[in-house]
Amino acid sequence: MIEFKNVSKIYDTGTEAVHNATFTIDKGEFAFLVGTSGSGKSTLIKLILKEEEASKGNIIINGKDITFLKAKRVPFLRRSMGVVFQDFRLLPDKTVYENVAFAMYIVKATPKHIRRQVPMVLSLVGLSDKAKCYPHELSGGEQQRVALARALVNNPSMIIADEPTGNLDPETAWDIMNLLNEINARGTTVVMATHAKDIVNKMKKRVIQIDRGIIIRDDKKGGYNSEV
């Protein structure tokens, strides 16, 4: 599903954000990318999204080597994954419904399909009654659930989440985690970058830890810190 082969990323400034990273995340897996700020986990996410180009090595997603993917094809790569960010990134002048429907317009879904699919994902994230609200009328947790609905609406094979709970209080954070867990249980791969210790510890999922650009740990069912 996601395969990194000796991937390094050196920014133009000369900093090496990722050094020789090799790992594979299989279909249906739930994997945490953990590390302190500046450890390189955001760069890993950016590499998966093809927002940044790898300086060395190969990245294979869904069986395709995206290392030399043309800029023109990048949108199609991104459509195969649902993306969730710390700051929600909703379109401010569109309602909840429109924000979710937008992801479907992009893939040229039929209006009929949109009308059926959007209410379905909105009910999945528990926001059916907020469909006509604008993002600024919602709480942080609700906004993140809209973002999640948007990420899910096209039935992607994987969800990439970059600190999705970073701006939320613990309780709402768990709402989001439960949703992600539920989505994962339905067979969607979930990759989540985070530094929320308690979440990682309680979820007991695979943990890939990165420190100063180097992957220092990859536990199948680990906690935030190595328990050795």
Partner 1 sequence: MRYNGLSYAIGEGFRNIFKNTKSTVISVITMICTMFLFGIFFAIGVNINSVLEQVQMKQGMEVFIFDEVTDEQKQNFENQIKSLDGVNTVVYKNKQQALDSMKEQMKDSQELLTAYEGENNIFPASFVVTLTNLEKSKEIESEIQRIGAQIATEGRSEEVDLQIEEATTNDTIIKKITSRDSTIEALVQLVKAVRITIGVIFIVLIVISITIISNTIKLTVHARRKEISIMKYVGATNGFIRWPFIIEGIIIGIIAAVITLLIIGLLYDFIIQNIETSEVLQKMGITLLAFIEIAKPITIVYAILGIGIGVIGSSVSMKKYLEV
Contact positions vs partner 1 (CB under 8 A): 49, 51, 72, 75-79, 83, 85, 89-93, 102-103, 105-111, 114, 150
Strand 16-25 to strand 189-194: parallel, antiparallel, or no bridges (unpaired)?
A: unpaired
Output phi, psi for 103, to 5 deg. Answer: -60, -25
Q: What is the closest distance, in whole angstroms, from the C-beta atom of residue 93 to partner 1 in the complex?
A: 5
| Nearest residue (CB) to partner 1, 108 versus 136 | 108
Q: Report which of 213, 183, 160, 220 is spatially closest to residue 1, judged by C-alpha positions.
A: 160
Q: C-beta of 70: minimal distance to partner 1 in Å?
A: 12
Q: State in angstroms the smallest separation of the CB of 83 from partner 1.
A: 5
- Residue 103 or 124: the one with the smaller Cβ distance to partner 1 is 103
Minimum CB–partner distance for residue 202 and partner 1 (Å): 29
135 vs 223 by CB, closer to partner 1: 135
Q: Nearer to partner 1 by C-beta: 79 or 197?
A: 79
